[in-house]
Amino acid sequence: MNEQTLLIHSSPSPIALVHPALTLQVHTVRRTRLIATLGPATESLDAIRSLVHAGADTFRLNMSHASHEWAREISARVREAATDAPRARTVGLLFDLQGPSIRTGTLPQPFELNEGDKVEFRHSGSDPALPYSTTVNYTSMVSDVSVGDTLLVDNGSMIMKIEGVTNDRITCEVQTAGQLGSRRHINLPGVRLNLPALTEKDRADIEVATECGADFIAGSFVRDADHVNELRAHIQQAGGHAQLIAKLEDQEAIKHLDDIIHASDLIMVARGDLGIEVHIEELPIIQRRIVKRCHNLGRRVIVATHLLESMIESPTPTRAEITDCANAVYEEADALMVSGETSVGKHPQRCLEILDRVARRIERSGGLGYASSADLRTTRQQAVRAAVQLADSIQDAIMVVFTRTGTTANQTALLRPRSPIYAFTPETTVCRGLALSRGVRPFVMPFREMPRDTIAEAVATLRNRRDVPEGTPLVIFSDTFQIDHAVNSILLDQM
């Protein structure tokens, strides 16, 4: 190795979708991470392995529909499937909590409702006063809503207007016909709800997630930083190491956007409920605002929901879906997440393969460049930027980062370098926690007492496990080289 110590020391087309063989395959490292939700269609070990090989970087377990026994079994299968990942790729595990959702009660049979019908939602134990009557699981709803508010049922498939509120029920008029079944989700756009941050089910699910060694835990319906802090405290109390994802799903969360971003490890643009809670024409603007603010404030961001919804049934996505996925990649989101497409869909592997192809192609065309306006307040962040600028100025350079906590690797990724990032850490949990960091390929490797030995072992790892040609320039960043204290160092080396 010829090492130079630098002076910085401080403290697709429609045809292509149907006929993949007709497209030009470019073998590049995909930067955008992919999250696949597991379910009945993909719960077997073979199915999970196929998704790993198709490009899944992290697997999501939706605890709204999962038993604890199922979660334990699937978590073990994810870990087993990860041992067979191509090029030793790291695979993460995400538990997505149900959160404090409002749901209707159980009905003997669904109601077929027409425009103008009256429906009541009452407390459990109250007697029905109308033919169309069901209970709700949130008794304080009568205190939160007002006459004239809009009530949406089943993800917006039915629209109702609140006409009356008493101490134990609300009465609504149906504005769009539809079917009201059991345990349907209720949204109240623009209404400040006094729901708890965590339910008893969430607390029990966190215990199971900790037992299974979850790398990420997502909190649903996060409304402010206090909710994030309560969730984090419970994860720590349970003994978990999982990073915390705040799902933004209503207008209240958007009002407290900066506070939530600062309090969280990652942010998820959960467009399902969010698209119901806000005016639909505002959703693309809100998505872009969230992504941009995460780049500014230094947090990873996930874009989720309805990316390839039609592929639950169809083997090919709509052109609008492809454009939506491409837009999220162009915004340089850290990760894209699919839900029903892989949990219950008919084409889960093909779905990920298409996401992989779209991401690779759009990444070659550049991005919006929000990272250029990142708020870099610390000396370390500024040193990381210097390393990124150096790597980007050298043709074919790659970045090598040594990190004990993952922070330095994340800061590097958040500046969106053109160069690939290879991160080395001695901790397995830290390595898996980097599975949702854009452009980062993490490895577990013990750090030697002598920095040169650590660098030599990392270079050997890249030679043995990656297609990194001899002579490739390496820009190495580390804050771990000094034994007694951290010193930020940038080194220029080559393979």
pLDDT at 467: 64
The dihedral of CA 409, 414, 419, 420: what is its sign?
positive
pLDDT tens digits for 375-401? 888 888 888 898 899 998 988 889 999
pLDDT confidence of residue 86: 87
Q: Which of 397, 395, 324 is nearest to 359 (CA)?
A: 324
The whole-number pLDDT of residue 482 equals 55
Please report where in the chains the tokens 């970087």 appear, as a residue. Answer: 57
Residue with tokens 């008919």: 346
The predicted pLDDT at position 3 comes to 42
Strands 118-122, 169-174: pairing is antiparallel
What confidence score (pLDDT) does residue 481 get?
54
> What pLDDT was estimated at residue 23?
38
In this prediction, residue 203 carries a pLDDT of 96
pTM score, two decimals? 0.89
Asked whether the beta carbons of 425 and 432 are under 8 A apart, the reply is no
Ordered DSSP codes for 232-256: HHHHHHTT--PEEEEEE-SHHHHHT
CA gap 70, 203 in Å, rounded: 17
The pair of structure tokens assigned to 410 is 């994340």
Q: Tell me what pLDDT residue 21 has.
A: 38
Domains recognised in the chain with CATH numbers: 4-9+376-494 (3.40.1380.20), 31-100+198-364 (3.20.20.60), 102-187 (2.40.33.10)
Predicted local confidence at residue 222, as pLDDT? 93
Element (H, E) at 19: none
Identity of the residue numbered 24: L
Q: Give residue 486's pLDDT.
A: 56
Contacts of residue 466, defined as CB under 8 A and 6 or more positions apart, other chains included, come to 87, 422, 441
Q: Is 214 helix (H, G, I), strand (E, B) or coil?
A: coil
- pLDDT score at 24: 36
Catalytic residue ranges: 60, 103, 247, 305
Query: What is the mean pLDDT, run by run of 10 residues, along the chain of 495 residues?
Result: 42 41 50 97 97 97 94 97 89 95 92 96 93 93 95 91 96 96 89 89 97 97 94 96 95 94 97 89 96 96 96 96 97 97 96 97 92 84 89 90 92 92 94 96 89 85 77 83 61 74
